[in-house]
């Protein structure tokens, strides 16, 4: 990892997530946002125009070139201050503290006759405190500046004067054609033109943007995929029209016009700054957004002025001390005024030794009121030591020492990635000990995000004899020693002498080693394995010289597990091009491997809204098939009612897999008539070529019409093992009084069982379950009366929340509760007139599990919890 990238990761990632949460919570589709440069070109919306060509004058950045609009430079700054603003901004930061304002006023009054001490005595402590804090701020910001300089001075290859030449990132301009090589960061937001792979795909790591370690698959348009040699760029010309700069990482709308034709662009072709090229030798791309117009910088907020709880609490204490100081000074001044007025009595001086007759206005008996007011100011300075100015400097020193201890903590060193702990700012160290609630998802946090194919259901028959971690934990809970004591490591399943295969932990003699051809539903099994081998976006990486097996690169570990499983069961995917996939299939008639090819006509990609992925392919016989895989909640409603005899038993198997903590997907297919496909292709192509704001919705509508009347094949079940030490960690957190909320898309049964496996749900903990899977609600769903269903569902949720609150209220000391709520109930629990009741119940529980929750619901839960904590 290059210097500076890790520092930005946390800040950008948190801002990116907040941006996504805000969009989800508002229930709106991300849209383009205005910026100064876009308004110069033609206003907000769809007005970014990029002239992608590589002649020398353009590469030199001629300002007068009409093909080079005045977009912002590619130099970025993430510093809090600059040479001009450092002094005023840092002083403003210091005088946000109440005590500093007080000492500043005292220092000013110290130069008047009111001061009971020398002026240096008042000024010196203030200067020491301000200087020490400002020096710390300067050093931290200077480090940011150095890291910015390192990033801006990185080298990349730009096409200039007929060849690719090295230049600094800061010199890149919109329209430049660049070459990025393996393991390099992208210097700006690029449109992918071609790559080292024949089908012009590449893999991208976006960990610095969204924290995800899975590689993302990108693929260029076919029209630019032939750009491979330097000479081919001499004649390359294109005009790209796209959305304005905006912070939305997962959306992009635009088109590219080249060779007299116009082609639609999608997020599949955009490479974002600060993401890294992986497992690809090189890519070529054209710059569309630079500097602060890039999506990552649109998400990077300015360095905030962070003030911890301790600092804010200190301000409250200072207010209290200051109030006491004012009270003391007022009382003293009143008595001083009375005594001063009584100094002259019957023409005689009562306190002649003080010589009030020779005094100034400060002790003038004839002007006692004014003397009392001035004495008040003197008293405020004299008693000023009640305000601990040294406390601030002491805390700053403690913060610096804590940061040093964190940086040297060997127990926080991650050996696999050679990453030590690094406190990049010392302002928030003390917040670490004040965490009372942890919100987490499941995949990649509680689990390893390393999937293994372990079970499946095909044609109503369950296959796979593995035992999962969750099943083992549940056996322990129920006191069943037979399963609980089993060693469930991968080796337990492997035949003697056979090594474990990453992503494949399946064993069943009925289908392995080609035995599936003897099964009653061998034709369905064949189509099931074929779908696993075809319906994906993986690419073959390399062949193991010892085993002869192919390894794969995939966007997600689920897909890699499916392709590996297909390979192990006789359907080896070995090649992909832009237009087809190629398999070695086990022929059930001859029992030998035969080569088969499938032409890819369209790929309907997976997303969180669709919850499914489909591919349309044509086989060698000219038959067109739609292969689809997705969540059971969306797939079962798309099945044909007349050709699916395994629905009920497959659903039962899926429920059993869910109870075992497995991730399930339903597999189905459909054979398409030529007329049906031609009609779909016309509508789908028109939707993709559209540049309107609702393009994604139109594409989804067209795809949804085709993904109907599917024939069920079965379901897959993969295991995502718990991370090492998760149960022990959660148990320690619970002992420390920290509450844990898990927001997951799993079914309730799955989430509960995983909760037991990772100690989120513990023995003796009472469960409060809020669900709408109840007889009266299910009956209303079947009737289809939406108004009555909505009313009854909301009333049921409120009733269950109130029952839960009563249980918590009447609980004995030390009794712990766990709240479990499903996605349907969460919809009503988060409504404006119910959310306060729900959150008060949730905050009173030791563990909270939100099951079947959508991304929008996860966002709303987080936002509501943040709001209730802040208030």
Per DSSP, which regions of 682-763 are E strands?
A: 711-722, 739-743
Instruction: Please name the residue ranges forming H helices in 708-847.
Output: 726-735, 748-757, 775-783, 786-809, 823-829, 835-843
The response to whether 724 counts as a known ligand-binding position is no
Tell me how many degrees the CA angle 289-290-295 measures, rounded to the nearest 5: 60
The response to whether 241 counts as a known ligand-binding position is no
Q: Are 668 and 650 in contact (CB under 8 A)?
A: no
Q: In Å, how far are 82, 447, 602 from 754, measured between CA atoms?
A: 51, 10, 37
CB atoms within 10 A of CB 627: 24
The response to whether 846 counts as a known ligand-binding position is no
To the nearest 10°, the Cα dihedral for 192, 194, 198, 199? 30
CB atoms within 10 A of CB 314: 19
Active site residue 441: yes
Q: Are 427 and 404 in contact (CB under 8 A)?
A: no
The response to whether 744 counts as a known ligand-binding position is yes
Residues 6+ apart with CB under 8 A from 49: 41, 42, 69, 239, 240, 241
Q: Is 391 exposed, middle or buried (0-12, 13-18, 19+ CB in 10 A)?
A: middle
d(CA 307, CA 741): 26
The response to whether 695 counts as a known ligand-binding position is no
Instruction: Using DSSP bridges, classify how beta strands 817-821 and 766-770 pair: parallel, antiparallel or unpaired.
Output: parallel
d(CA 273, CA 270): 10
d(CA 278, CA 317): 53
Q: CB-side exposure of 588: number of CA atoms within 13 Å? A: 16
The response to whether 746 counts as a known ligand-binding position is yes
d(CA 866, CA 853): 18
Q: Which of 5, 230, 315, 441 is catalytic?
A: 441
The response to whether 559 counts as a known ligand-binding position is yes
Q: Are 254 and 242 in contact (CB under 8 A)?
A: yes
* Closest to 463 in 3D by CA, of 527, 528, 510, 525: 510
The response to whether 167 counts as a known ligand-binding position is no
The response to whether 29 counts as a known ligand-binding position is no
The distance from CA 519 to its chain's CA centroid, rounded to whole angstroms, is 45
* Closest to 564 in 3D by CA, of 721, 453, 657, 713: 453
Contacts for 795-803 with beta carbons within 8 Å, 24 or more apart?
Answer: 796/772, 797/770, 797/772, 797/825, 797/828, 797/829, 797/834, 798/828, 798/834, 798/837, 800/768, 800/769, 800/770, 800/771, 800/825, 801/770, 801/829, 801/834, 801/837, 801/838, 801/841, 802/837, 803/768
The distance from CA 11 to its chain's CA centroid, rounded to whole angstroms, is 11
Q: In Å, how far are 429, 728, 774 from 786, measured between CA atoms?
A: 51, 46, 16
Helix, strand, or coil (residue 625):
strand
The response to whether 663 counts as a known ligand-binding position is yes
The response to whether 113 counts as a known ligand-binding position is no
- At residue 424, φ and ψ (nearest 5 deg) are -85, -15
d(CA 339, CA 499): 98
The response to whether 681 counts as a known ligand-binding position is no
- At residue 105, φ and ψ (nearest 5 deg) are -65, -40
Q: Which residues are annotated as a binding site?
A: 441-443, 559, 606, 629, 663, 744-746, 852, 858
Q: Which residues are annotated as a binding site for Mg(2+)?
A: 441, 443
Q: Which residues are annotated as a binding site for ATP?
A: 441-443, 559, 606, 629, 663, 744-746, 852, 858
Q: Catalytic residues, which ones?
A: 441
């Amino acid at each position: 990892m290059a210097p500076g990238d890790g520092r930005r990761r946390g800040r950008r990632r948190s801002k990116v997530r907040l941006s996504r949460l805000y969009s989800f919570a508002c229930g709106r589709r991300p849209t383009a946002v205005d910026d100064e440069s876009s308004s110069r070109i033609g206003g907000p919306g769809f007005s970014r125009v990029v002239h992608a060509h590589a002649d020398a004058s353009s590469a030199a950045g001629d300002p007068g070139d009409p093909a080079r609009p005045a977009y912002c430079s590619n130099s970025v700054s993430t510093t809090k201050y600059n040479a001009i603003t450092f002094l005023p901004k840092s002083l403003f930061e210091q005088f946000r503290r109440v005590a500093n304002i007080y000492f500043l006023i005292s220092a000013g009054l110290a130069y008047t006759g009111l001061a009971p001490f020398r002026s240096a005595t008042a000024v010196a402590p203030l200067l020491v405190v301000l200087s020490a804090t400002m020096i710390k701020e300067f050093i931290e910001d200077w480090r940011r500046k150095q890291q910015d300089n390192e990033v801006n001075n990185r080298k990349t290859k730009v096409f200039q004067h007929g060849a690719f030449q090295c230049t600094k990132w800061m010199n890149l301009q919109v329209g430049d054609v660049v070459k990025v090589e393996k393991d390099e960061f992208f210097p700006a937001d690029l449109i992918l033109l071609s790559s080292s792979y024949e089908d012009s795909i590449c893999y991208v790591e976006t960990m610095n943007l969204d924290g995800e370690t899975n590689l993302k698959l990108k693929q260029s348009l076919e029209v630019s995929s032939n750009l491979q040699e330097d000479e081919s760029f001499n004649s390359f010309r294109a005009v790209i029209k796209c959305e304005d700069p905006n912070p939305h990482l997962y959306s992009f709308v635009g088109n590219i016009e080249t060779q007299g034709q116009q082609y639609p662009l999608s997020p599949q072709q955009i490479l974002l700054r600060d993401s890294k090229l992986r497992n690809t030798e090189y890519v070529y791309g054209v710059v569309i957004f630079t500097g602060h117009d890039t999506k990552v910088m649109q998400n990077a907020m300015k360095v905030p002025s962070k003030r911890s709880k301790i600092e804010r609490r200190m301000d409250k204490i200072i207010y209290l001390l200051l109030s006491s100081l004012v009270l003391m000074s007022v009382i003293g001044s009143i008595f001083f005024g009375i005594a001063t007025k009584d100094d002259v009595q019957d023409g005689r001086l009562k306190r002649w030794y003080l010589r009030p007759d020779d005094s100034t206005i400060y002790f003038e008996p004839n002007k006692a009121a004014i003397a009392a007011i001035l004495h008040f100011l003197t008293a405020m300075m004299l008693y000023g030591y009640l305000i601990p100015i040294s406390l601030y400097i002491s805390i700053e020193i403690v913060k610096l020492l804590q940061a040093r201890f964190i940086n040297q903590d060997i127990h926080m060193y991650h050996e696999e990635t050679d990453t030590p702990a690094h406190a990049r700012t010392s302002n928030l160290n003390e917040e670490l000990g004040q965490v009372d609630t942890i919100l987490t998802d499941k995949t990649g946090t509680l689990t390893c995000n390393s999937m293994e194919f372990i079970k499946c259901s095909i044609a109503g028959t369950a296959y796979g004899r593995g035992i999962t971690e969750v099943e083992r934990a549940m056996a322990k809970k129920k006191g069943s020693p037979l399963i609980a004591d089993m060693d469930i490591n991968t080796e337990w399943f492997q035949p003697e002498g056979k090594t474990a295969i990453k992503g494949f932990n399946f064993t069943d003699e009925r289908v392995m080693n080609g035995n599936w051809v003897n099964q009653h539903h061998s034709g369905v099994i064949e189509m099931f394995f074929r779908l696993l081998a075809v319906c994906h976006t993986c690419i073959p990486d390399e062949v193991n010289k010892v085993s002869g097996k192919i390894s794969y690169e995939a966007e997600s570990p689920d897909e890699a597990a499916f392709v590996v499983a297909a390979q192990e069961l006789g359907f080896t995917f070995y090649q992909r091009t832009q237009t087809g996939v190629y398999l070695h299939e086990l022929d059930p008639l001859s029992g030998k491997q035969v080569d088969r090819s499938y032409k890819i006509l369209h790929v309907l990609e997976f997303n969180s809204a669709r919850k499914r992925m489909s591919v349309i392919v044509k086989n060698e016989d000219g038959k067109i098939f739609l292969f689809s895989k997705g969540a059971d909640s969306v797939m079962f409603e798309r099945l044909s009612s007349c050709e699916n005899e395994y629905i009920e038993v497959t659903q039962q198997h899926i429920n059993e897999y869910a109870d075992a903590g497995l991730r399930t997907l339903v597999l189905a297919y459909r054979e398409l008539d030529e007329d049906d496909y031609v009609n779909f292709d016309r509508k789908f192509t028109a939707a993709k070529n559209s540049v309107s704001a609702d393009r994604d919705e139109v594409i989804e509508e067209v795809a949804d019409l085709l993904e109907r009347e599917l024939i069920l094949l079965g379901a897959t079940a993969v295991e995502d093992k718990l991370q090492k030490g998760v149960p022990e960690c959660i148990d320690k957190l619970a002992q420390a009084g920290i509450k844990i909320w898990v927001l997951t898309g799993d079914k309730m049964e799955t989430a509960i069982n995983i909760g037991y496996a990772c100690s989120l749900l513990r023995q003796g903990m009472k469960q409060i379950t809020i669900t709408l899977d109840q007889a009266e609600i299910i009956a209303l769903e079947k009737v289809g009366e939406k108004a009555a269903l909505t009313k009854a569902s909301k009333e049921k949720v409120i009733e269950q929340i109130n029952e839960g609150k009563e249980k918590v209220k009447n609980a004995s000391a030390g009794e712990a509760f766990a709240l479990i709520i499903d996605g349907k109930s969460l919809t009503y629990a988060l409504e404006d007139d119910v959310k306060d009741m729900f959150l008060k119940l949730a905050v009173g529980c030791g563990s909270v599990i939100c099951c079947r929750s959508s991304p929008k619901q996860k966002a709303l839960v987080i936002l509501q919890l943040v709001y209730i904590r802040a208030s």
